[in-house]
């Protein structure tokens, strides 16, 4: 779980990057009655043993779906999103090494959580879902920060 795959990452810089663009992105999310990550009972209930797998799955969710589906006109916001994506790329490499070394096993509970998130995403048109997922990055970053406190820089 957590200790077996520590990720050293400057979480504060990541969270500051997002905080800088949070209001603008969330203002573009007009579907207040739907959440993607914020079904927090799913994220908060993750056991330490499943933290690595969920981290790997959610990093892939953002890198392979959200950042690809999102089209951002504002250069400032785009720079911030790129900075966050680069940090996620670095984290992905760390987590993938853990997987190669057999330290990032996926159990059913963890797979179910990420499936819920993908199902939520599929409810909406891709660009709308991408904006909503970006607006909920604070939830994911808070979860990473909480679960990798010692592993963080």
Partner 1 sequence: VPCVSGDLPKPTDVTFLSINMKNVLQWNPPEGLHGVDVTYTVQYFIYGQKKWLNKPECRNINRTFCDLSAETSDYEHQYYAKVKAIWETNCSKWAETGRFYPFLETQIGPPGVALTPDEKSISIVLTAPEKWKKNPEDRAVSMQQIYSNLKYNVSVYNTKSKRMWSQYVTNHTLVLTWLEPATLYCVRVVSFVPGPPRPAKPSEKQCISTLQDQTSALKVK
The CA-based angle 96-98-101, given to 5 degrees, is: 110
Residues 102-131 that bind partner 1 (CB under 8 A): none
Candidates 54, 135, 140, 147: give the one binding partner 1 (CB under 8 A).
135
Q: Give the tokens for residue 69.
A: 């589906």
* Residue 12 found at the interface with partner 1 (CB under 8 A): yes
CB 37 within 8 A of CB 117: yes
Site string for partner 1, 20-59 (x = CB under 8 A): --xx--xx----xxxx--xxx---x---------------
Q: Which of 2, 5, 9, 18 binds partner 1 (CB under 8 A)?
A: 18
Q: Between residues 115 and 149, which has the closer beta carbon with respect to partner 1? A: 149
Helix/strand number for the chain, H first, E second: 8, 0
Count of residues that interact with partner 1, criterion CB under 8 A: 27
Residue in 37, 48, 32, 18 with CA at minimum distance from that of residue 150: 48
- Per the structure block, which two tokens stand in for 92? 């992905």
The residue written with tokens 């203002």 in the block is 27
Determine, following the binding rule CB under 8 A, whether residue 99 of this chain makes contact with partner 1: no
Q: Per DSSP, which regions of the chain are E strands?
A: none
Q: Which of 92, 96, 99, 152 touches partner 1 (CB under 8 A)?
A: 152
The answer to whether residue 8 forms part of the interface with partner 1 (CB under 8 A) is no
The dihedral over CA atoms of 92, 125, 72, 19, expressed in degrees to the nearest 10, equals -60
Which tokens is 106 given?
């996926």
Residues that bind partner 1 (CB under 8 A): 11-12, 15-16, 18-19, 22-23, 26-27, 32-35, 38-40, 44, 135, 138-139, 141-142, 145-146, 149, 152
């Amino acid at each position: 779980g957590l200790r077996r795959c520590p990720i050293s990452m400057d979480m504060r810089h990541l969270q500051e990057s997002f905080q800088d663009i949070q209001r603008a992105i969330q203002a573009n999310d007009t579907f207040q009655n739907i959440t993607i990550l914020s079904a927090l009972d799913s994220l908060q209930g993750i056991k330490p043993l499943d933290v690595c797998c969920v981290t790997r799955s959610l990093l892939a969710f953002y890198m392979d779906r959200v950042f690809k589906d999102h089209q951002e006109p504002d250069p400032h916001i785009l720079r911030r999103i790129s900075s966050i994506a680069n940090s996620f790329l670095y984290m992905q490499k760390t987590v993938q090494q853990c997987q190669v070394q057999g330290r990032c096993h996926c159990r059913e509970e963890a797979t179910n959580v990420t499936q819920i998130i993908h199902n939520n995403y599929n409810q909406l048109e891709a660009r709308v879902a991408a904006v909503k997922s970006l607006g909920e990055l604070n939830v994911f970053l808070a979860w990473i920060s909480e679960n990798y406190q010692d592993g963080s820089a």
